[in-house]
Structure formats: C-alpha cells, structure tokens
Amino acid sequence: MKFMSLGLYDVAKSAEVAKAADQLLSNPPPGFKLLAQYVCLGRPFDGIPPNTMVSVAIGETDSAEAIAAVSYPLQLAGVTFYRVPLLEIPVAGATAVEKKLKG
C-alpha cells in the first residue's frame, strides 16, 4: 500500500534527522520502498510552529512492521509523522472508480 507521510521536526534537529534518514535509506527495511521525498520551502498548512521543517514522502509498504521500521529511528531523531493512505485512481477512469467504490 502507498502512503504519503508528512514529517515535522524542529529545524535545530535537522542534522540528527538527516543522519538518521541517510542511515535508514542506505539500507531500507524489507517491505519498504521510498518512491519520492520532498522538503517544503513554505508552510503547507496552518498550525505549524515556527522553525519547523516539513518533509513529504511517498512510500510503498508491505506491512505495518515495515512502516514501524522506517518510523522508529526517525521518531527517535525528533520527527513527528502523519501518514495518509493513498488510493491510486487513473485520471481517465476516476468516474468509474468512484461508482465502484460507492457500491
């Protein structure tokens, strides 16, 4: 399943977070694949405290254990995660998928 992960961390923790992310992504856990990662240059939504970095990642996981294996080292470095499951809908077939999901 694909997830969009929002990671928030204090800018003072950037070095620790970068080190943890480099170690993690150089040898990712089984069942996890990082598809894309971005760092926001502005506040993507209201309510973010000052001096907070926001990263957005899209990853694919096979299990909850794979998500935990990715999250835990980064949480120890100071990252707070918000995860959103993603449903892929082909652009040309959005109406058909909507009808199917409605039942």
Q: Which residues are 55's β-sheet partners?
A: 7, 39
pLDDT of residue 78: 95
List the helix and strand counts (H, then E) for the chain.
3, 4
Map residue 49 onto helix, strand or coil: coil
pLDDT tens per residue, range 18-41 = 999 999 999 999 999 999 999 998
Domain spanning 2-102 has what CATH number? 3.30.70.1150
Domain ranges for the chain: 2-102
Rounded distance between C-alpha atoms, residue 54 and residue 10, angstroms: 9
The model's pTM: 0.80
Helix (H) / strand (E) element for 102: namely helix 94-102
Tokens of 93: 């077939």
Instruction: With a cut of 50, list the residues of the chain below it in pLDDT.
Output: none
User: Taking a C-beta distance cutoff of 8 angstroms, is the pair 70, 57 a contact?
Assistant: no
